[in-house]
Chains A and B, each alone.
Chain A
Amino acid sequence: MAENHAIDRYRRWYRELLRFYSKPHRERFAESMEQTFHDVCRERANDGHGLLGFVLWMFVETAAGILRENGGVGLAQFLRIVSPVAFFAVAIAAWVQMQNAIAVNIAAGLDNQLRQLFFQPPLPTRPDMAEVWLWTSGACFLCGVIAAWRLLRTSQRKRLA
Chain B
Amino acid sequence: MANNQVHANGPLTPAVFHILLALSTQERHGYGIMKQVESDAQGKVKMGPGTLYGSLGRMIDAGLIRESAKKIDTKMDDERRVYYKITAVGQKALAAELRRYSEVVAIAAQLRLRPTS
Contacts and interface: CB of A to CB of B under 8 A. Distances in A.
Contacts of B4: 68
A62 to B, nearest CB: 4
Contacts of A58: 48-49
A68 B51 CA distance: 9
Contacts of B54: 65, 68-69
Interface residues of B, number: 21
Interface in A36-91: 36-37, 39-40, 57-58, 61-66, 68-71
B30 A68 contact: no
Given A25-B57, A68-B2, A32 B51 contact: no
A71 B48 contact: no
A63 B31 contact: no
B59 to A, nearest CB: 12
A36 B30 contact: yes
Interface string B33-54: 0100000000000001111111
B53 A29 contact: yes
A28 B82 CA distance: 10
B10 to A, nearest CB: 19
Contacts of B56: 29
B66 interface: no
B29 A62 contact: no
Contact of A35 (B1, B30, B51): B30
Contacts of A108: none
Contacts of B50: 61-66, 68
Question: Most chain-B Cβ atoms within 10 A of its Cβ — which of A37, A58, A65?
Answer: A65
A63 B49 CA distance: 10
A40 B31 contact: yes
Contacts of A29: 53, 56-57
B46 to A, nearest CB: 9
B76 interface: yes
Interface of A: 25, 28-29, 32-33, 35-37, 39-40, 57-58, 61-66, 68-71
